[in-house]
Amino acid sequence: MSDVALPHAASLVAHRRKAAGEAAEQLAAWVLAGPAFVLIWVMLLGPTVAVVVLSFTDWTFGMPEIAWAGLDNYREMAADAVFWQTLRNTLTYVAFVVPLSVFLGLGAAILIEAGTSLRGFYRAAFFLPVVSTLLAMALVFQFAFHPTVGAINLALAFVGLPTTDWLKNPNTALFALGVIGVWQAIGLSMVLFVAGLKAIPKDLYEAAAVDGADGAFERFRRVTWPMLGPATLFVVTITAIRSFQVFDTVQVLTDGGPNKATNVLLFQMYQEGFSFLRSAYAAALTVVFLGFVLLVTVIQVKLQERHTHYG
Amino acid sequence: MRTRSSGLGFQLFRHGVLGLGAILMLAPFVIMVSVSLKPSGEIFAPEFALLPKQWHAWQNYSDAFTRQPLARYILNGFIVTGAIFTCQLLTALPCAYALAKLRWRGRETMFLLVLLGLLIPPQVTAIPLYILLWQLGLLNTYAAIILPSTISVFGIFLLRQFFLTVPDDLINAARLDGLGEFAIVWCIMMPTAMPAVVAFGVLSLVWNWNEFFWPLVVIQSEHLATPPLGVVFFASAEAGTNYGPLMAAATAITAPLVIAFLAAQRWFIDGVTMTAVK
């Protein structure tokens, strides 16, 4: 504080001005943050509370009456074979997309950073799918998956591998959508890993070399991988949350079929809520969806805590 | 690391693997543009050729723009993304400044609300917001697409993190010069935070241009459709047989973002990376 050296009277004025300044600061802060405060409640937190409350009622969209239904929606869900298949499909999709996009993204990041030639080109090529309109690209994939003239079957037939109508075959449709998901997610995990790699201090590699860690694999095992821990955790979390949100490709390419083979949580919620107008049941599905997304975050936080304990 | 692995063998391996990867990542774009140039006879030919024997680009693109109001969809895309980002910036920037630089009761609560908001995926609020917009008679309007996105907790968080690194002296100096808090927010803080504002803008643009779920829920009229929704109208009208014009339409709605990305790559990648600096 510079006003310590000031004469008494001046410091009193300064003090009074400071008190007035503090009140003004309180007011200014509320005025500045006010619109955001209101909008967060109206558009985000309020509706989230509302969706939970709605899931315990029997309301159908447009009906004048609404009654408390307790756990009825959740009971109906538990008794519905379609719900369990939807859940299985969603988890299978996530379990397929997350490891593949994380490992391929990590591999791409390491290889891109391991040299300087064409670095910018590779980074752009891998990242381009992240910014492109998934819906338009889904239609391109529909053409690429075409049973007779699609590039994928042409390529597979060329090297003598079996072909099928990927999006219409119940055994392959979910994985065909998964391929699109991986294609779009690799670039994101790649750039996040590149940021993680750049944050590793170079002298760690020299120290490891002094300790006798020669060869690319030893360096990776002893330095790169442990140092990438936090980045990996973040990439896995963000990819998992995004995979749980799979919707666009299902809606335009398979419509949940064939035979419910690609029915996923959000698609089921969309159908119940906006096609059949069963708002309360759709709200219950939303709560389950939110539960999974929050679970991913809780796991991330727990693992992060453990990591910092070691650090 | 680099000096050790710069052997010729390793370089060959690196370019071999990354080259194959890049081909696979870019293949859908190549197929899309290639098909958009071909007549339907060649599209359904048993072997794939990169370039058409008979150029059909003009017919496909003029079909795409005349059979459906494609230009309108793209215009809607600009209107909606522009309005959303303007609102997000107007609400997020002052809030982020108050969170980072002002001392007030309620600051911790407000920040907690922002963090809570970050945990909620956008689809969770769909049903209550749909009911709200229905009550207000706003379904099937631009407002229905824009209103739920007027707040971005992500933007508040990103800008707050950036403002924390701005020295207090800068703000105190501005106050001594007689600037009010509003002037400080818009004339001092915003120019200082340009990298974060641009990153936020890029992410907001990418997200809202590509967003499909919410417009699908609230929009029925063709003339209000955003680009992804418009392409779906297009695809269902053509019933999945007329790939030439469809791929022309897909190319046209993907082009603005791809061109912006190629022109300002660093901002896009920095923007995404900034989200990781939590």
Looking at CA atoms only, how far is residue B1 from chain A in angstroms? Answer: 7
The nearest alpha carbon in chain B to A214 belongs to B4
More confident residue, B81 or B178: B81
pLDDT at residue number A263: 92
**What is the ipTM for the molecules in this complex?**
0.87
Angle of helix B57-67 relative to helix B70-101, nearest 10 degrees?
70
Looking at CA atoms only, how far is residue B258 from chain A in angstroms? Answer: 6
Q: What's the CA gap between B195 and B202, in Å, rounded? A: 11
pLDDT averaged over every residue in chain A: 86
Could you tell me which CATH number the domain at A73-310 has?
Answer: 1.10.3720.10
- Residue B184 at interface with chain A, using a CB cutoff of 8 Å: no
pLDDT at residue number B278: 40
Q: Across the interface, which of B95, B105, B151 has its CB nearest the CB of A26?
A: B105
Is B150–A43 a contact, with Cβ atoms under 8 angstroms apart? yes
| pTM (two decimals) | 0.88
pLDDT at residue number A306: 79
* Percent of chain A surpassing pLDDT 90: 41
More confident residue, B16 or A153: B16
* Percent of chain A surpassing pLDDT 70: 92
Is A289–B124 a contact, with Cβ atoms under 8 angstroms apart? yes
Confidence at A246, pLDDT banded by 50, 70, 90: very high
User: H helices of A7-133, where?
Assistant: 8-39, 46-54, 72-79, 81-113, 119-131
The nearest alpha carbon in chain B to A201 belongs to B1
Q: Of A110, A135, A180, A265, which to mutate for an interface test with B (greatest number of B Cβ within 10 Å)? A: A135
B191 C-beta neighbours (distance < 10 Å), count: 9
Structure-block tokens of residue A45: 């937190």
Looking at CA atoms only, how far is residue B58 from chain A in angstroms? Answer: 20
pLDDT averaged over every residue in chain B: 86
Confidence at A311, pLDDT banded by 50, 70, 90: very low
Confidence at B167, pLDDT banded by 50, 70, 90: confident
Query: What kind and span of H or E run contains A296?
Result: helix A279-310
Is B119–A297 a contact, with Cβ atoms under 8 angstroms apart? yes
B117 neighbourhood in chain A, CB within 8 Å: 40, 44-45
DSSP calls for chain B: -TTTT-SHHHHHHHHHHHHHHHHHHHHHHHHHHHHHTS-HHHHTSSS--SS-SS--HHHHHHHHHHHS-HHHHHHHHHHHHHHHHHHHHHHHHHHHHHHHH---TTHHHHHHHHHHHHHS-GGGGHHHHHHHHHHTT-TTSHHHHHGGGS--HHHHHHHHHHHHTS-HHHHHHHHHTT--HHHIIIIIIHHHTHHHHHHHHHHHHHHHHH--HHHHHH---GGG--HHHHHHHHHHHHTTT-HHHHHHHHHHHHHHHHHHHHHTHHHHHHHHHHTT--
Q: Across the interface, which of A117, A131, A283 has its CB nearest the CB of B206?
A: A131
The nearest alpha carbon in chain A to B208 belongs to A133
Confidence at B56, pLDDT banded by 50, 70, 90: confident
**Would you say residue A142 has pLDDT above 90?**
no
Is A234–B35 a contact, with Cβ atoms under 8 angstroms apart? no
Nearest to B205 by CA among B162, B120, B245, B263: B263
Q: What's the CA gap between B15 and B8, in Å, rounded? A: 11
pLDDT at residue number B62: 85
| Separation in Å, CA B49 to CA A17, A141, A199, B37, B156 | 77, 17, 44, 11, 49
pLDDT at residue number A247: 93
pLDDT at residue number A307: 67
Looking at CA atoms only, how far is residue B167 from chain A in angstroms? Answer: 16
More confident residue, B137 or B1: B137
Q: Across the interface, which of B148, B182, B254 has its CB nearest the CB of A136?
A: B254
A33 neighbourhood in chain B, CB within 8 Å: 94-95, 98-99, 106, 110
A170 C-beta neighbours (distance < 10 Å), count: 13
pLDDT (tens digit per residue) in A26-69: 888 888 888 999 999 999 999 999 999 999 988 888 777 787 88
Region A236-250: mean pLDDT is 93
Region A242-265: mean pLDDT is 90
Ordered by where they begin, the domains of chain B are: 8-64 (no CATH), 68-274 (1.10.3720.10)
pLDDT at residue number A68: 86
Looking at CA atoms only, how far is residue B235 from chain A in angstroms? Answer: 8
Q: What's the CA gap between B76 and B52, in Å, rounded? A: 32
- Residue B259 at interface with chain A, using a CB cutoff of 8 Å: no
Nearest to A138 by CA among B74, B254, B260: B254
Is A127–B269 a contact, with Cβ atoms under 8 angstroms apart? yes
Domain boundaries, chain A: 2-54, 73-310
pLDDT at residue number A2: 43
Q: Of A119, A133, A293, which to mutate for an interface test with B (greatest number of B Cβ within 10 Å)? A: A133
Nearest to A61 by CA among B53, B103, B126: B126
DSSP calls for A30-53: HHHHHHHHHHIIIIIIHHHHHHHH
Query: What kind and span of H or E run contains A208?
Result: helix A202-210
